[in-house]
Amino acid sequence: MSRRELQRSQVSPKRRNAGFNLWAITTNLAFFGLLLIAVLRVAPDYFEYLTVKDIVTRAVIEQPVSGETVPQLRSRLATLLETNQVRGIEIDDITIYSERGVIVVDARYETLFPLFWILDGVMQFDDLVIEATPVGHS
Helices 70-83, 22-57: inter-axial angle, 10-degree rounding: 140
pLDDT in tens, 14-44: 555 667 789 999 999 999 999 999 999 999 9
pLDDT for the residue numbered 27? 95
pLDDT in tens, 49-104: 999 999 999 988 877 777 788 899 999 999 999 999 999 899 999 999 988 888 89
Residue 48 amino acid letter: E
- At 36 the three-state DSSP class reads helix
Considering only 28-32, 45-49, 116-120, which range has the smallest mean pLDDT? 116-120
Alpha-carbon distance 120 to 138, whole Å? Answer: 43
pLDDT for the residue numbered 18? 64
Domain boundaries defined on the chain: 21-131
Q: Indicate the pTM of the whole model.
A: 0.76
Output b/e per residue, 8-28; b: 16+ Cβ within 10 A.
eeeeeeeeeeeeeeeeeeeee
